[in-house]
């Protein structure tokens, strides 16, 4: 099924992954750091062009993983990893990465295929899962060498098998300081995140910087080594600032509309 230009974006400190010009079933993805304002920024881009398709993280699925045939029995995997990261890091990272693969492999809707400028925006991608979050858990010692080797093995296999469908055309990096991200995290007051410390956000920030800015992270896939990265400073609280919102939306929207860029990825501190 041939599709017209379609992009993808992901976000973190905030990172957005953007993909356009899909050969068959591709889209945009957003990626960002935790509590950097990714979801708000995604909504801003959605206002620019209502034909663009945004894909958010399946947070509810992580918070209520059904463990039996009865709906009453479910587990909050997100809470479990925060409470006992040594026990649950590999389990959570495997499940979260599988959810990202599923999102990026989801068939493009007929509505999106008919759009003049089809763009898919993903909150995060399979690449930030590995090069930021999983890598960070391994370096912290929450995943041992055997678990890390297994994770990398199946991750590389799946990316190689579905390379055309999970590739990205660009990255929008929503950049904010760890201190600002912690402030926003406290404001959000998500139950599972009550114990998150500044040091953890600093480590995630460093992983993002090494990957997207310094280019010192070892990347194993040629198709994302030279991916374009748009850096947006979002230390200012733009949600209630009309002028700041307009400026960020304009900059981010220009990347999504760039005719030669089919995929955009945006990354920042995880939320």
pLDDT digits (tens, 9 = 90+) for 174-223: 888 999 989 888 888 788 888 889 999 999 999 999 999 999 999 999 99
Q: What is the pTM of this model?
A: 0.78
Catalytic residues: 123
Q: Which domains are assigned to the chain?
A: 14-257 (3.40.50.300)
pLDDT digits (tens, 9 = 90+) for 233-267: 878 765 554 545 555 555 555 555 544 333 333 33
Instruction: Give the pLDDT band (50/70/90) at residue 69.
Output: low
Dmax (CA) of the chain: 50
What are the strands, taking DSSP E only, across the chain? Answer: 7-10, 14-20, 30-31, 53-55, 65-66, 74-75, 120-122, 170-175, 229-233, 263-267
225-230: average pLDDT: 88
Q: Are 23 and 164 in contact (CB under 8 A)?
A: yes
């Amino acid at each position: 099924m041939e599709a017209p230009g379609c992009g993808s974006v992901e976000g973190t400190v905030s990172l957005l992954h953007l993909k356009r010009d899909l050969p068959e079933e591709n889209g945009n993805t957003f990626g960002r750091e935790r509590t950097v304002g990714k979801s708000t920024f995604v909504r801003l881009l959605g206002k620019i062009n209502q034909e663009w398709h945004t894909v958010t993280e399946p947070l509810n699925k992580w918070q209520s993983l059904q463990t039996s045939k009865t709906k009453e029995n479910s587990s909050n995997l997100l809470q479990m990893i925060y409470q006992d990261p040594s026990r649950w890091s590999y389990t959570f990272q495997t499940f979260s990465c599988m959810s990202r693969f599923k999102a990026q492999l989801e068939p493009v809707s007929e509505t999106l295929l008919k759009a003049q400028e089809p763009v898919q925006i993903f909150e995060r991608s399979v690449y930030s899962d590995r090069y930021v979050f999983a890598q960070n858990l391994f370096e912290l010692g929450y995943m041992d060498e055997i678990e890390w080797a297994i994770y990398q093995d199946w991750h590389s296999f799946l990316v190689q098998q579905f390379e055309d469908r999970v590739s990205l055309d660009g990255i929008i990096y929503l950049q904010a300081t760890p201190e600002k991200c912690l402030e926003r995290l406290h404001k959000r007051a998500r139950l599972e995140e009550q114990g998150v410390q500044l040091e953890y956000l600093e480590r995630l920030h460093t992983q993002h910087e090494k990957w997207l800015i310094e280019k010192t992270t070892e990347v194993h896939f040629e198709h994302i080594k030279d991916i374009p990265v748009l850096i947006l400073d979002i230390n200012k609280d733009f949600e209630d600032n009309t002028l700041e919102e307009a400026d960020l939306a304009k900059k981010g929207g220009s990347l999504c509309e760039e005719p030669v860029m089919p995929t955009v990825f945006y990354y920042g501190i995880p939320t």
